[in-house]
């Protein structure tokens, strides 16, 4: 067992640069944790702290119950894959794959066996072994970088945006390969990305980071279905969730002339944020009660669906825009439209804090 644990980790470069403020999380053997967040939110710094490339200002890191907070990188038995691949340009593919093992003084017969096995798993054929990184495609370099981590048989794998230098089609294929490959490793994997699709497809757990803190730590399905706050709700999901600041009147939030039951609150605030994903704004069906009225002003074709933007009729000074994912078998042209908000798909957030009001508490 080599469970990885971060306890109240903080990294302060200067009073104004504190990329990691207070991060606690754990990753078990066989778990694939993704750190997901916008650029500059402290993902790479967190990974570098785990690897020992940076020293934490406060907090603790353990691997399999051993405190490694102050251990040298080489003593942590961690393998890291970087976005830049970080291959040695003057060494061949074969030499790159075994460079780490030679340092560890692994016997040469075993080196050969491990390299051959990684090369075959990764589809790196013998013809590539004598080439230098400069003679490889981006996808091949990326596989060599992953291979170099695999042959180490480390206690923990760290990957920092390993797909971001690949073009879109290749990225999709390699993403699927990575998922299969690391599922077979049975050690903790920590993967960093700003790409929500990678996070959702690869992970067993996702930690959404912003501003040096974990905003939510949950399986990907739950991050999507139960975002803990407005930041997570807006960051995860494409097209983005509608987040509408609405006035409250009595027990209702007013979306134009549509009255929507508020969750149970001890005091009703003057305003509340309603969140609803575009796929949950739909053509009204018999029995639907939450119907909004407005005008179509933009139709975007996404292939499987149309993303239709409407301005809701309202007496507020500012227009309210709602976006809906609608089927492509109807023509959506500018003009009046009525749409229904699917029941049970509304999220409520506090205007001040951005925290969610849990759906369980909503009146029905």
Which lies closer to Mg ion via its Cβ, residue 19 or residue 256? 19
Which lies closer to ligand ADP via its Cβ, residue 40 or residue 219? 40
User: Least distance from C-beta 162 to ligand ADP, angstroms?
Assistant: 13
Check binding of 39 to ligand ADP (CB under 6 A): yes
Q: What are the residues binding Mg ion (CB under 5 A)?
A: 44
Q: Which of positions 216-275 make contact with ligand ADP (CB under 6 A)? A: none
Q: Which does 13 bind (CB under 5 to 8 A by kind): ligand ADP, Mg ion, none?
A: ligand ADP
Which distant-in-sequence residues (6+ apart) come within 8 Å of 66 by Cβ?
none
Among 2, 9, 25, 41, binds ligand ADP (CB under 6 A): 41
Which lies closer to ligand ADP via its Cβ, residue 196 or residue 306? 196
User: Least distance from C-beta 44 to ligand ADP, angstroms?
Assistant: 3
Check binding of 42 to ligand ADP (CB under 6 A): yes
Give the per-residue SS3 of the chain: CCCEEEEEEEECCECCECCEEEEEEEECCCCEEEEECCCCCCHHHHHHHHHCCCCCCEEEEEECCEECCCCCHHHCCEEEECCCCCCCCCCCHHHHHHHHHHHCCCCHHHHHHHHHHHHHHHCCCHHHCCCCHHHCCHHHHHHHHHHHHHCCCCCEEEEECCCCCCCHHHHHHHHHHHHHHHHCCCCCEEEEECCHHHHHHHCCEEEEEECCEEEEEECHHHHHHCCCEHHHHHHCCCCCCEEEEEEEECCEEEECCEEEECECCCCCCCEEEEEECHHHEECCCCCCCCEEEEEEEEEEECCCCEEEEEEECCCCCCCEEEEEEECCCCCCCCEEEEEEECCCCCEEECCCCCEEECHHHECC
Which of the stretches 12-20, 100-108, 140-148, 213-221 binds ligand ADP when contact is defined by CB under 6 A? 12-20
User: Least distance from C-beta 191 to Mg ion, angstroms?
Assistant: 12
Check binding of 17 to ligand ADP (CB under 6 A): yes
Q: Which does 220 bind (CB under 5 to 8 A by kind): Mg ion, ligand ADP, none?
A: none
Which lies closer to ligand ADP via its Cβ, residue 36 or residue 322? 36
Check binding of 154 to ligand ADP (CB under 6 A): no
User: Least distance from C-beta 42 to Mg ion, angstroms?
Assistant: 9
Among 4, 36, 43, 260, binds ligand ADP (CB under 6 A): 43
CA distance 206 to 194: 12
Among 44, 230, 280, 290, binds ligand ADP (CB under 6 A): 44
User: Least distance from C-beta 356 to Mg ion, angstroms?
Assistant: 27
User: Least distance from C-beta 82 to Mg ion, angstroms?
Assistant: 10
The residues that touch ligand ADP, with contacts defined as CB under 6 A, are: 13, 17, 19, 37, 39-45
């Amino acid at each position: 067992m080599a469970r990885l644990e971060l306890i109240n980790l903080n990294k302060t470069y200067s009073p104004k640069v504190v990329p990691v403020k207070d991060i606690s999380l754990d990753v078990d053997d066989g778990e694939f944790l993704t750190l997901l967040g916008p650029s500059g939110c402290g993902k790479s710094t967190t990974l570098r702290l785990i690897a020992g490339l940076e020293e934490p200002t406060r907090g603790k890191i353990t691997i399999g119950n051993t405190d490694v907070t102050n251990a040298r990188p080489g003593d942590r038995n961690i393998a890291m894959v970087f976005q830049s691949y970080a291959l040695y340009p003057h060494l061949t593919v074969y030499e790159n794959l075994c460079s780490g093992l030679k340092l560890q003084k692994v016997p040469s017969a075993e080196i050969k066996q491990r390299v051959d096995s990684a090369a075959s798993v990764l589809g790196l054929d013998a013809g590539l072994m004598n080439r230098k990184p400069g003679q490889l495609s981006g996808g091949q370099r990326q596989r060599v970088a992953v291979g170099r981590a695999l042959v180490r048989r480390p206690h923990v794998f760290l990957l920092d945006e390993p797909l971001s230098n690949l073009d879109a089609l290749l990225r999709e294929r390699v993403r699927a390969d990575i998922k299969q490959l690391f599922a077979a490793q049975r050690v903790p994997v920590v993967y960093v990305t700003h790409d929500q699709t990678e996070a959702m497809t690869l992970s067993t757990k996702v930690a959404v980071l912003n501003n040096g803190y974990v905003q939510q730590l949950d399986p990907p399905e739950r991050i999507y279905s139960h975002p803990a706050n407005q930041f997570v709700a807006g960051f995860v999901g494409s097209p983005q969730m509608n987040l509408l600041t609405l006035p409250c009147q009595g027990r209702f939030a007013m979306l134009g002339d549509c009255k929507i039951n508020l969750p149970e609150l001890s005091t009703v605030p003057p305003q509340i944020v309603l969140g609803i994903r575009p796929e949950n704004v739909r053509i009204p069906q018999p029995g639907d009660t939450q119907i909004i009225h407005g005008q179509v002003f933009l139709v975007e074709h996404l292939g499987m669906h149309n993303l239709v933007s409407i301005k809701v009729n309202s007496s507020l000074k500012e227009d309210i825009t709602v976006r809906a994912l609608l089927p492509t078998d109807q023509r959506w042209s500018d003009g009046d439209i009525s749409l229904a908000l699917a029941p049970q798909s509304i999220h409520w957030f506090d205007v001040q804090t951005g925290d969610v009001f849990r759906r369980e508490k909503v009146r029905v």
